Amino acid sequence: MKILVINCGRSFLKFQLIDSETEAVIAKGLCERIGIEGSKLIYTPTGGEKQEIEEPMEDHKKAVSLVIDALTDKETGVLTSLSEINAVGHRLVHGGEKFASSTLINEEVIAAITECNDLAPLHNPANLIGIRACKELMPDVPQAGVFDTAFHQTMPEEAYLYGIPYEYYEKYRIRRYGFHGTSHSYVSARAAEVLGKKYEDLKIIVCHLGNGASVSAVKNGKCVDTSMGLTPLEGLIMGTRSGDIDPAIIEFLAHKEGRSIDEIMAVLNKKSGVLGLSENVSSDFRDLEDGYNNGDANAIRALKTYCYRVAKYVGSYVAAMNGVDVICFTAGIGENAPLVRNFVCEHLGYLGVELDQEANHKRGEDIAITTPESRTTVMVIPTNEELAIARETVRLAV
């Protein structure tokens, strides 16, 4: 089967066409600046040349139709006709408490996702626009929705409730939801597979360290806690997001700087994290690693503070699960920054973690980076959210 995986944001649409039998990517690409001047489609057929097609895209429907044109183009396309697409899988950000697993999309499901818009006002409406555009252009093709929040719905109440009046949970559903669920689920299951152990027998901590970053505790194949909360602002220090802070800082800063709550929230989302901590050296860990190697105090401060927070979360999840068998690193930083893994693991001596430095410097493999003697296994597992979405889509659509 050929599955089109779509990740739709407010002004972009990323896609991959995946062959579900071989799990190979047939083509992939990105539409950027949708609804803004200067929009373009970047399209790469596997084994072929990357193309950049500048074309006005007034909305997502136009973007989807350009993707279909590129995929079916006589010269550079990979499909002879649109009917070769067997199903579409959508990455959806927030399923609230309504969706504990992926689902086939129908009008009822669209209405239920719309009800979650309040919880993700930037993402969910954009996801829905993508669904509508695909439904209009491919009315007979089954479509599945795979939620970022779904994997975390198994968390117990003690992990998802905040220490605020319970009536706010009842009235507004304010609670921890967690994000990156598709990645946490894929990586934890893959770690068990690579180790040749039963997923249901393991206690696994997944550190998804990308531009956004979160940690999760997966016990016997089910998520029992995760670091992102009602929104993706909570938890780890990220590229530009603060992660956990004392909530009183918001009011304190608003008074001191004479700014509104919205302005302070923009600081916490866009100007904080390692970018803010490093006095604007960068939010990109490649730059921070360069800075570290050149002895730049700003980069060192940002890196050390970032890694300490990751280690603290790992410790709290060891407590949550009363132990840990495997710790996984994944996503842009988790997969590519041996220095970060080193700094985090320096705090994990109490777990008997012994890194194998040669393995720690390899790239692009599912690999254990601890020695055979290490009491806890630490692994690098490259995440593959698109493949996970394609697999879910096949499971639902067949």
Q: Give min distance, CB of 275 to ligand AMP, in A.
A: 10
Q: Give min distance, CB of 283 to ligand AMP, in A.
A: 6
Q: Give min distance, CB of 208 to ligand AMP, in A.
A: 8
* Residue nearest ligand AMP, CB atom distance: 332
Q: Give min distance, CB of 149 to ligand AMP, in A.
A: 18
User: Residues with Cβ < 8 Å from 156, sequence gap 6 or more?
Assistant: 224
Q: Indicate the residue among 361 and 395 with the shorter CB distance to ligand AMP.
A: 361
Q: Give min distance, CB of 284 to ligand AMP, in A.
A: 4
Number of C-alpha atoms within 13 angstroms, CB side, residue 230? 12
- Binding residues vs ligand AMP (CB under 6 A): 210-211, 239, 284-286, 289, 331-333, 336-337
Quote the Cα angle for 36-65-39, to 5°: 20
Q: Indicate the residue among 50 and 286 with the shorter CB distance to ligand AMP.
A: 286
Q: Indicate the residue among 133 and 209 with the shorter CB distance to ligand AMP.
A: 209
Q: Indicate the residue among 328 and 351 with the shorter CB distance to ligand AMP.
A: 328
Do β-strands 326-330 and 203-209 pair in parallel, antiparallel, or remain unpaired?
parallel
Q: Give min distance, CB of 381 to ligand AMP, in A.
A: 13
Q: Indicate the residue among 143 and 330 with the shorter CB distance to ligand AMP.
A: 330
CB 164 within 8 A of CB 192: no
Q: Give min distance, CB of 207 to ligand AMP, in A.
A: 12
Evaluated on CA atoms 359, 362, 368, 369, the torsion sign reads: positive
Q: Indicate the residue among 128 and 331 with the shorter CB distance to ligand AMP.
A: 331
What's at 26, amino acid-wise? Answer: I
Q: Indicate the residue among 340 and 397 with the shorter CB distance to ligand AMP.
A: 340
Active-site option among 148, 225, 296, 325: 148
Q: Give min distance, CB of 306 to ligand AMP, in A.
A: 10
> Can 148 be counted among the known catalytic residues?
yes
- Say how far apart CA 63 and CA 66 lie, in whole Å: 5
CB 190 within 8 A of CB 379: no
Q: Indicate the residue among 160 and 186 with the shorter CB distance to ligand AMP.
A: 186
Map tokens 């991959």 to a residue: 16
Q: Which residues are catalytic?
A: 148
